[in-house]
Amino acid sequence: MDKEMLKIKLGEENYQKLLGIDNSKLHEFVARYVELCNPDKVFVATDSQEDINYIREASIRNGEEKKLAVDGWTVHFDGYYDQARDKPRTKFLLPKGVDLGPNLNAMDRDEGLEEIHEILKNIMQGKELYIRFFCLGPTNSEFAVPCVQLTDSAYVAHSEDLLYRWGYEEFKRQGKSARFFKFVHSAGELDERKASKNIDKRRVYIDLEESTVYGSNTQYGGNTIGLKKLAMRLAINRAAKEGWLTEHMLIIGVHGPNNRVTYLTGAFPSLCGKTSTSMIPGETIVGDDIAYIRKSGDRVYGVNVESGMFGIIMGVNSKDDPIIWKVLHNPNEIIFSNVLIGEDNKPYWIGMGEEIPEKGNNYSGEWTSGKKDAKGNEITPSHRNARFTSDLKQLDNLDEKLNDPNGVELGGMFYGGRDSDTWVPITEAFDWTHGIITKGASLESETTAATLGKEGVRKFNPISNLDFLSVPIGKYIEMNLNFGNSLENPPLIFGVNYFLKDKDGNFMNEKTDKKIWLKWMELRTHKEVDAVKTPTGFIPRYEDLKKLFKEVLNKDYSEEEYKAQFTIRVPENLAKIDRIKKIYETTVAETPPILFKVLEEERQRLLEAKEKYGDYIPPDKFR
């Protein structure tokens, strides 16, 4: 390490901040990329409020964010063609002989490092580099993973200030023993709107060998906020080696009888109700996106990796999302990205339930209703992937155990996707293996015409983690199986479906009904209600649901509704088994043999039931 070069680049004050962390590997990493990226200035941020404020002010000073009418609110615009995760250019860098399977995007490690280092060479000339320290999971905890972020984007650093626990002191605590994740990012050359200009050189490369993520020529959060889904890939890889889990899961505290709180995790693909589930009024949120899950004795504990929200804002309205709506209308610290800013200097977005101005400023520049882009596509007022970034402490329903270093004990786990015709609204698996295979590993979700093109196409998404895996799918499923099967009493596993439709295409449940499924799961984890055994798992008894609907929602729940919703649809379930089996046979390497055995057992149960009762079996037949 060239200490003299580093001292000159950082200056005495910043140099001493860096040396305050006793970790030579950290110092060498910083020196290497300061020299390569060659910024004009370097700022090292500790956990002090003074240093945090410097970053926030830099985002305004640099023009990456602009202040809005309400105190604490700012807006950031990504480039018009930099509005989402760049999946084709997000690649694992793998050494020769390592193969993650055909579902994961990868390239030769040596070639990838040579390319990204060439792109990063002198990329920060004329800019200031911000060095930030964060912690994934609570600090001073077995769950804690320290992270260092190098970026020339104050917007990225500011976003991470809101989303993650500050980690300078955690680095100092762990010292030489710290096994940290590393992130190097540059927004590259900026245009007149301070957005990344050279999109053709946009890269997001993940080096599992060195636990390092590289990003260039992009500002969109999913590509640049490295501690989110990019760090998730690093953590999945580490967890696979160490016997714990990194999951794309919410954690919610469901409140049961006698002031009891039972913690559940849930995994949903995008647009399937994950955020709305985590924000259900009356329950408490620990996390809405990513969880680390570990064993202690015969019990399972989970933590929220993050301490903030990088949430999709489209469709957030006062009726359906009262908790988030309140956050978005109070003078809190919020970064709005890619929304419409009206002449009143306030944010507007699609689906907010209020009149949207006919003109303003948005991700395309000056905007008026009906404006079209160069390809003739109409430009919406806000982007469909527009976001808000906020600290979780702004939420009224935040659980008091968010930062508990021991995590929260998990009573159950549930999986759900957009499914119009197969799963009943709530099912409990027979055991851990049955649950992981038939609920988690078999998870699918249907596309919606409004946002994803052709409607009703089923997308395979095992445990809602396909996009973020850094191990082969088969190995990932085996990891999950082994995790729970090593326990005498693992958490219960459930499958949920908010999107079941009748023969006329109408949804069979109200949006608020999901609260009932949560309450039933909570009762089942404490063995306080019985259930009906069907070929696909345990379902609720009518009398228990009737009582819950009345007590929780003050709604009458008829036996006709129950029968319609909880009818076992044999043809659709058999077709699903065929689809899932074919995927694992043809596209997934190293599939555990138990998966095919469990699917075949489910098939046989369905065929036996069909022989007795027909294709569509009402729940009373199983009583």
Residue pair 182/148 in contact (Cβ under 8 Å)? The answer is: yes
Triad 421, 422, 423: Cα angle to 5°: 125
End-to-end CA distance of the chain: 72
Kindly report the number of other CB atoms within 10 A of residue 509's CB atom.
Answer: 17
Cα diameter, the chain: 82
DSSP notation for 568-616: EEHHHHHHHHHHHHHHHHHT-TT--HHHHHHHHHHHHHHHHHHHHH-SE
To which residue do tokens 């905890």 refer? Answer: 141
CA 122 – CA 108 distance, rounded (Å): 24
CA atoms within 13 A on the CB side of 615: 5
Distances (CA, A) of 118 to 109, 112, 121, 127, 184: 14, 10, 5, 18, 13
For 300, residues 6+ apart whose C-beta sits below 8 A from its C-beta are 293, 294, 409, 410, 484, 487, 490, 491
Catalytic site includes residue 135: no
10 Å Cβ neighbour count for 205?
Answer: 23
Rounded CA-CA distance 199/209 in Å is: 27
**H or E element in which residue 7 lies:** helix 3-19
- Distance CA(211)–CA(237), nearest Å, equals 9
Distance CA 302, CA 409 (A): 7
Please state the length of the chain. Answer: 623
Cα torsion for 511, 515, 521, 525, to the nearest 10°?
160
| Interatomic CA distance for residues 296 and 575, integer angstroms | 39
DSSP tag of 448: -
Q: Which two tokens mark 367?
A: 């905007």
SS3 assignment, position 365: strand
Sign of the C-alpha dihedral, residues 489, 621, 599, 425? negative
Given the residues 37, 135, 147, 272, select the one marked as catalytic: 272
Q: In what helix (H) or strand (E) does residue 368 lie, and over which residues does it extend?
A: strand 365-368
* Secondary structure of 29-88 in HEC code, one letter for each residue: HHHHHHHHHCCCEEEECCCCHHHHHHHHHHHHHCCCCEECCCCCEEEECCCCCCCCCCCC
Contact 105, 134 (CB under 8 A): no
Point out the residues that are catalytic: 272
